[in-house]
Structure 1
Amino acid sequence: MAVASAASAHPHVFVVAKEEVIFGTDGKVTGIRAAWTFDDMYSSFAIQGLGDPNKILTTDELAPLAKTNVESLAEFGYFTVAKVAGKAVLFGDPTDYLLEETPDKLVTLHFTLPLKEPAAANRAFSLQVYDPTYFVSFDFADKDPVALKNAPSGCSSSVTKPRSLDSGDNQKLSEAFFSNMSPGVDFGIKLASRIIVACP
């Protein structure tokens, strides 16, 4: 996910995300399946020099890049935070990861994050995808941003948008601010939407 960019301010990479919440036979959440589509500039940068530029790259051709991307995401917790009743859940190592290129030359990363322990969704299961440093901007897709796979009858999902930044935060959105940000500062959460899954 390291990007060379000439942009003058954050963010540098834009991602449209779709998330699938996976349920087990016992009605508990067992994993999250992500599909992240990168903006045209990052997509072009990522696949530069791979294969025939006049053809769509296959998932096999993109497999080494998919592996590199997923492995590099581990350092950042896969930019994914899930909670049950306000308590964070832990993820295992990602599985089923692949990259695909679409005819419009955009690249989408797919991967599954299994929960280390299945989580009940009848106690406000929530999910956020964001970069704390706001180097990468994540937005959920306008259409079908979240799917529930094998969910028990009566389960539903909703997406809550973040509150607008106040004038003070807007003034901070400069390269100098992010370059001097102290370790551990979580600015990205202010701009992160939240998926809520509720089951009876």
Structure 2
Amino acid sequence: MRLNGLAMLICGALGAFAAAPARAHPHVWISGREAVVFNDRGEIVALRHRWLFDDMYSAFVIEGAAKKKGRLTKEELAPLAKSNVEDLAEFDYFTHAKVSGRKLAFGAPQDYALEEVENKRVELSFTMPLDTPVSPKIFSFQVYDPTYFVAFELAPGASVELVNAPHGCSSNVSGAKPLAAAESKKLTESFFSGLSPGADFGVKLAAAVVVACP
């Protein structure tokens, strides 16, 4: 069974690269803060992620690292950040964006860092540059794991930041639509069976962000 990139971060912190256990869903919870980055020509050039991990996941990372007094720094966790951001390539970095219904391609992640923040939580931050800048009237993106191994949500009360955006641009976040009864049953059963609820559950449960510019 293939090992999810974020699961590899856990295993890497523990120094155990054994086969993955049965995949009950989800295993990891992430509270995200997202930013859309514009260039000086008013084109969207990148997305910036800041992913705050749940307590249990953070504990694995912290306990598996060479802990010193105080918080673990970006420098101490740099090798782990690099190896595990690279592992996310197999999963398109959980980053999916479109313009006019056309899926956009991203380049290699930049400015990645992992660090311990408040309350012994760890946060992964990185920038996903677009292969080609876009000048959208409507730009949309979602952050999700298709197999729902990792559950994403936007940080409560946080808005999507528009960096260097032209005047008049705005963002709107729409929550996931309620699952049909059969889908809810399937998801519940997956928690008890340890099997995936399906390859499309991540997108069904993901919030959608729409950026509109005049």
The answer, yes or no, to whether TM exceeds 0.5 is yes
Shift of 1:141: 1.2
1:73 partner SS: helix
* 1:139 aligned residue: 153
| Change over 3 Å in CA distance of 1:180–1:112 after alignment to 2 | closer
Shift of 1:166: 1.6
**How many residues are matched?**
197
- 5+ residue gaps, structure 1, are none
Q: Of 185, 192, 198, which residue of structure 1 is paired with 2:206?
A: 192
* 1:121 aligned residue: 136
The one-letter code of the counterpart of 1:113 is: M
Which whole-Å deviations, capped at 9, do the CAs of 1:107-154 have from their partners, x for residues lacking one? 1100000000001221x1001000000000000112223100000000
TM-score under structure 2 normalisation?
0.85
Shift of 1:61: 0.3
Check conservation: 1:17, 1:145, Cα contact below 8 A. no
The one-letter code of the counterpart of 2:51 is: W
1:116 partner SS: strand
Question: Matches of 1:57 and 1:14 in 2, distance apart?
Answer: 21
Structure 1 segment 47-126 matched on structure 2, within 5 A: 47-52=62-67, 54-122=69-137, 124-126=138-140
TM-score under structure 1 normalisation?
0.91
Q: Of 34, 51, 56, which residue of structure 2 is paired with 1:36?
A: 51
Question: Matches of 1:180 and 1:131 in 2, distance apart?
Answer: 12
- Higher helix fraction: Structure 1 or Structure 2? 2
The one-letter code of the counterpart of 1:168 is: A
Which whole-Å deviations, capped at 9, do the CAs of 1:81-116 have from their partners, x for residues lacking one? 010011111000000000111131111100000000
Shift of 1:8: 8.4
Query: After alignment, is 5-14 or 148-157 more displaced?
Result: 5-14
2:75 partner SS: helix
Q: Of 184, 190, 195, which residue of structure 2 is paired with 1:179?
A: 195
- 5+ residue gaps, structure 2, are 1-5, 12-19
Shift of 1:6: 8.7
What RMSD, in angstroms, separates the aligned Cα atoms of the two structures? Answer: 2.1
